Structure 1
Amino acid sequence: MKYRRTLGIAVATVALGMVSVPQAFAADHSMETKDTMFPGEDAAGRMEFTEHGDIVKVCDTDADGDAAYLTVFDGSRDGPKLYWIRAGGEGNCTTVRASMGGKYNLPEHNIHFLICRGDDQLHAGYCNGATWHNDN
């Protein structure tokens, strides 16, 4: 009898622990920039955008000596630049979010993202861009 009660408590504890584990939230949008213009090349950088909380993350995904740069524009690629962030060194990421205030609290309309690979923001190449509607 004592064994069953102990076993029941152990099973209930494990089950409760599994239920209360927080789930990771996937980004609403993501894209990569390549090492070169040739198809099939590995990604040099990756960005993710989660609308709820305006969470923007850029990561350097290749040990190529360059960094990943992400520029965020209001409305379209021709709109005003809101900010840019950088991640350098394979596996390193930079994350900003609306809770940081100011420029990181994005407007609730179209936002254009441009991710590039380069040795600095002015000499970046191999870019990839997308416009997504921010409505959260």
Structure 2
Amino acid sequence: MTATSASATVDPPGGSWDHTWTTTDANKGGTVYVEENGDVVSVCDTAADGLSARVKISVEQTPNTWSERYTLVASGGLGSCATARASDGGSHNLPEGSSIGVTVYLGPDFQHDSTHSYLNDH
């Protein structure tokens, strides 16, 4: 499932984010922000490099077995963001007590990807 924008507003960099991660390229062209309370995930395009910043959110079903929940794409160029929240319902409402996988990357081909996880305990 792909969501281009669950919210048209630019949330980051303000707010109290529990986790912030960037892509691995020299310009850090993509940044993902996570607020566990409310399952708020926002990905922002942070470099004028011609590549859209994206984030893939997954849930660990069994040890080392992940199930993709959704993907967000910041498709508006430098400064654009795409945001999802639990209140959006469906796949955006992440299960409490589960490990959540976060992969932030550029373009459709997982360029400069950076993968992290956290325990969704808020």
TM-score relative to the length of structure 2: 0.80
Look up the match of 1:16. Answer: none
In 1, the alpha carbon distance for the partners of 2:110 and 2:38 equals 28
In 2, the alpha carbon distance for the partners of 1:77 and 1:93 equals 29
Does structure 1 residue 134 correspond to structure 2 residue 82? Answer: no
CA drift of 1:42 comes to 1.9
The structure that is helix-richer by fraction is 1
Comparing both chains, which one has the higher relative contact order based on Cα–Cα distances under 8 Å and sequence gaps of 6 or more? 2
Secondary structure at the counterpart of residue 102 of structure 2: strand
CA RMSD of aligned residues (A): 1.5
Matched ranges for 1:56-75 at <5 A: 56-75=41-60
Unaligned runs of 5+ in 1: 1-23, 36-40
CA drift of 1:102 comes to 0.6
Matched ranges for 1:1-136 at <5 A: 25-35=15-25, 41-75=26-60, 78-88=65-75, 89-108=77-96, 109-118=98-107, 120=108, 123-136=109-122
Q: Which has the higher Rg, Structure 1 or Structure 2?
A: 1
The structure that is strand-richer by fraction is 2
Aligned pairs, how many?
105
In 2, the alpha carbon distance for the partners of 1:49 and 1:135 equals 13
Q: Percent identity?
A: 34
In 1, the alpha carbon distance for the partners of 2:81 and 2:54 equals 11
Unaligned runs of 5+ in 2: 1-13
